[in-house]
Chain A
Amino acid sequence: MIAFARFEIRRTLRDSRFLLFLVAMPALLYLLLAGFTNSGRQDGLPASVAFMVAMMCYAAIGSACYAIGPPLAAERARGWIRQLRIMPLAGTSWLAVKLVQGALLILPGITVVAATAAITHSPDLTPARWAALAAVLLAGSLPFTVLGLVIGQALDGQTANSATLFTVLGLAFAGGLLIPDSQLPHALQHAAAVLPSRQLANLARAAAAGHTPTLAAVGVLAAWTIAAAGAALVLRRRDGA
C-alpha cells in the first residue's frame, strides 16, 4: 500500500503544468478579492484573513477534486484501472491511498495562498492557529477527494472534467467562498448548511479565530466522506467498470 502511495504521488508530481494550474487560480483570486477590500471585518475575522481562509478552502476543494477525479476517469479509459483491479490491492487500500494523495495535493495550493496573503497583508495568526488551520484543511479535504473519486469512477473523459468544474464552482459559490454568504439567495443560505464546502469554511474560520470546531460541521463532512467513499467503492466493483 505504501508502495502504491509512493507510486501515485510521484506520478502526480511529474505533472508540473497541472500543479501550476492548481496553485495559480486560488492565489490569483485571493489577490483579486483581498486587494480591493483591505479593511473591515468579516465573519469575526479581519477581512484579509477571512479572504485568505476562504481561498485556502477553495484551493483545498479544487485541488482535491481536480487531482483525483479527471485523472481517474482518464486512467479508466486507458484500462489501467482494470489492470490495477486484478492486482492484489484491496479496494479499501486503493481508497486509503487516494485519500492520502488528495490530502497531500492540497498542500501546494493552500501554501501558495497563505504565502501570498502573508506577503501582501501579513495576517496576524499565531503559529498554533496556522497549524490548526492546516490540520482542518488536510482532514477537510477528504470529502472532496472522495467526490472526485465518484466523478472519476462514474463519468468518462470530458464529462468528468465538466462535472468536476461544475462541482468545484458550485460548492465554492454555495459554500460562500467566492461571494459572502449574505449575498446568496436566502433559501440557499440555509440549505447550504448541508454542503461540505460551507462546513469546511466554518471549521477553517473557527480554526483561524481560535474557536473550537462545531460538532455539526464535523458531522456533515464525515457524512459526505462516508457516503461518497461507499459510492466510489460500489462504482469501482460494478460489472465491467
Chain B
Amino acid sequence: MNSADQPSPAISFAGVTKRYGPVLALDQVSFTIQPGEMVALLGPNGAGKSTTVDVLLGLRHPDSGTARVLGQAPQRATGSGRVGAMLQSGSLPDRALVSEVVELARTLYQARYTLASLLELTGLTELAHRRTDRLSGGQARRVQLAIALAGDPDVLFLDEPTTGLDVASRRLFWDGVRRAAASGTTVLFATHYLDEADANASRVLVLAGGHLVADGGPAAIKARLAGQIIRAAMQPAPGSDLRALPGVLAATVNGAEVELRTSDPDRTLHAMYRSGACIRNLRLDGASLEEALIHLTTPPARSTL
C-alpha cells in the first residue's frame, strides 16, 4: 500500500488482521481515507464492519497490521478529543437527562458548540429535559449523535447509526450528520443498507467475511451489487445462453426453474419474451446485499488463510 506518498490521510488501515478465537474477523484489510471524505463501510452482518470501527477507536487491538487515525495510534486520537463516534452497541446512561448527557460530552470535548446549538443541530431541543431511559430509538440515536458531534470532530465514526430507525428518523439523522460534516469532517460509517451508502457516501468500501472486496464510488459499487433476481419456469431455446441476455450478471438453471440476476430487469425481461421461450410463473425480487456479495466474492480465489 502506498499510503506513505499521499499527504497525511485521516484514516489508515494497513494489513489489519483480527481474530476472535477461531473466527477471522478481519483478514489483511488495508485502505486509506483522506481528510474530508465521506466513506461508507458496507457489508452484511459479520463482515467485520464493527471490528474495523472498534480497531479505529482503540477499543480493540489488531493481531497484526496498523491502524492510524489523524496520524496517531487510535487510542491517542480518541484521547485527544478530535474523534467522535457512535457505536453500534453504544448506548446512553440511565437516570440522566438528555441535557445532562449532552452537557457532559460538551465539557469533556471542550466544545465550541453551546449546549443550545448542539441540541438544535441534532433536533433535541424539545427533549432536553427528558430522561434518557424514556426516549424512542430514533431520539436516543440523536442523543448519541450529539455526543459524537460535541467536539466538532475531525473524524467521525458511525457504526450502523440508523439500524432500527424508520424512514423519517433516518432522514433527520442524516440531515444532522451532513450539516455537521459540512465543515470538512472525515466520516466513516458502517451500514448494511446499500441505498444508505449510495445516498450519503462519496466512496464505498465493501467488506465481506473479513475481506475488503470492493472499494469505489457508490455508482460503480451499486452497479456491481444491486440487481434484481428474475425467477421463472422457462424452457430456454436449445443452445441459447441465458448469460448473453442483456443485463444478466449471472444465471442458474435448475431443471425448468431459471434464476437470472440482472442489473436491468426491463431489458432482460424484454429479451426473454422476444426469444420466444415459454415463460410461466414469473417472479421478480430485489437481490439482498448478501446475495449480491456472494456473486462479488466467490469468483476470486480465497486468499491465504
Q: Which A residues have a C-beta under 8 Å from some C-beta of B?
A: 3-4, 7, 10-12, 14-15, 74-75, 78-80, 82-83, 85-90, 239-240
Question: Once the chains bind, are B54 and A3 in contact (CB under 8 Å)?
Answer: no
Query: A80-B90, A86-B78, A88-B79 given as contacts; is B61 within 8 A of A239 (CB)?
Result: yes
Q: Which of B58, B90, B94 contacts A83 (CB 8 A)?
A: B90
B293 to chain A, nearest CB (A): 25
Question: Once the chains bind, are A11 and B108 in contact (CB under 8 Å)?
Answer: no
Give Cα distance in the complex from A61 to B132, angstroms.
30
Query: A85-B59, A88-B80, A240-B54 given as contacts; is B109 within 8 A of A7 (CB)?
Result: no
Residues on the B chain within 8 Å of A86, using CB: 57-59, 78, 83, 85, 87
Q: Which B residues have a C-beta under 8 Å from some C-beta of A?
A: 54, 57-61, 78-81, 83, 85, 87, 89-96, 100-101, 103-105, 107-110, 144, 147, 151
Question: Once the chains bind, are B59 and A82 in contact (CB under 8 Å)?
Answer: yes
A240 to chain B, nearest CB (A): 5
Give Cα distance in the complex from A85 to B89, angstroms.
13
Residues on the B chain within 8 Å of A74, using CB: 94
Closest 9 CB pairs of A and B: A88-B81, A3-B107, A79-B89, A79-B91, A83-B90, A14-B95, A11-B95, A78-B91, A79-B90
Give Cα distance in the complex from A80 to B60, angstroms.
16
Q: Is the interface of B mostly helix, strand, loop or mixed?
A: loop
Give Cα distance in the complex from A86 to B59, angstroms.
8
Question: Once the chains bind, are A88 and B151 in contact (CB under 8 Å)?
Answer: yes
User: Can you show 27 pairs from A to B with CB atoms below 8 A apart?
Assistant: A4-B107, A7-B96, A10-B96, A11-B94, A11-B96, A74-B94, A78-B94, A79-B91, A80-B90, A80-B92, A82-B87, A82-B90, A83-B91, A83-B147, A85-B59, A85-B78, A86-B58, A86-B78, A86-B87, A87-B78, A88-B78, A88-B109, A88-B151, A239-B60, A239-B61, A240-B54, A240-B60
Question: Once the chains bind, are A87 and B108 in contact (CB under 8 Å)?
Answer: yes
Give Cα distance in the complex from A207 to B81, angstroms.
45
Apart from A7-B100, A12-B95, A80-B90: 8 A-B pairs, beta carbons within 8 A:
A4-B107, A11-B96, A78-B92, A78-B93, A80-B93, A85-B59, A87-B147, A239-B60
Question: Once the chains bind, are B90 and A90 in contact (CB under 8 Å)?
Answer: no
Residues on the B chain within 8 Å of A85, using CB: 59, 78
A82 to chain B, nearest CB (A): 6
Give Cα distance in the complex from A74 to B133, angstroms.
13
A134 to chain B, nearest CB (A): 27
- Among A80, A87, A240, which residue has the most Cβ atoms of chain B within 10 A? A87
Give Cα distance in the complex from A63 to B103, angstroms.
28
Residues on the A chain within 8 Å of B151, using CB: 88
Q: Which of B58, B60, B89, B104 contacts A4 (CB 8 A)?
A: B104
B282 to chain A, nearest CB (A): 46
Q: Which residue of B lies closest to A11 (CB)?
A: B95
Number of A-B contacts (CB under 8 A): 75
Query: A79-B91, A83-B87 given as contacts; is B57 within 8 A of A4 (CB)?
Result: no
A14 to chain B, nearest CB (A): 4
Q: Which residue of A lies closest to B81 (CB)?
A: A88
B115 to chain A, nearest CB (A): 12
Q: Which of B61, B93, B109, B147 contacts A75 (CB 8 A)?
A: B93
Question: Once the chains bind, are A3 and B57 in contact (CB under 8 Å)?
Answer: no
Residues on the B chain within 8 Å of A14, using CB: 95
- Among A4, A14, A239, which residue has the most Cβ atoms of chain B within 10 A? A239
Give Cα distance in the complex from A53 to B168, angstroms.
60
Give Cα distance in the complex from A223 to B199, angstroms.
57
Question: Once the chains bind, are B105 and A87 in contact (CB under 8 Å)?
Answer: yes
Q: Which of A3, A15, A88 contacts B95 (CB 8 A)?
A: A15
Residues on the B chain within 8 Å of A11, using CB: 93-96
Query: A11-B96, A82-B89 given as contacts; is B60 within 8 A of A87 (CB)?
Result: no
Give Cα distance in the complex from A7 to B60, angstroms.
27
Query: A4-B104, A11-B93, A11-B96 given as contacts; is B61 within 8 A of A87 (CB)?
Result: no
Residues on the A chain within 8 Å of B93, using CB: 11, 75, 78, 80
B161 to chain A, nearest CB (A): 13
Query: A14-B95, A83-B147, A239-B60 given as contacts; is B104 within 8 A of A90 (CB)?
Result: no
Q: Which residue of A lies closest to B109 (CB)?
A: A88
Give Cα distance in the complex from A130 to B97, angstroms.
37
Q: Which residue of B lies closest to A91 (CB)?
A: B79
Question: Once the chains bind, are A3 and B104 in contact (CB under 8 Å)?
Answer: yes
B141 to chain A, nearest CB (A): 13
Question: Once the chains bind, are B87 and A79 in contact (CB under 8 Å)?
Answer: yes
Residues on the B chain within 8 Å of A89, using CB: 108
Residues on the A chain within 8 Å of B87, using CB: 79, 82-83, 86
Give Cα distance in the complex from A3 to B92, angstroms.
17
- Among A4, A78, A83, A85, which residue has the most Cβ atoms of chain B within 10 A? A83
B100 to chain A, nearest CB (A): 6
Residues on the B chain within 8 Å of A87, using CB: 78, 81, 105, 108-109, 147
Give Cα distance in the complex from A172 to B95, angstroms.
30
B214 to chain A, nearest CB (A): 27
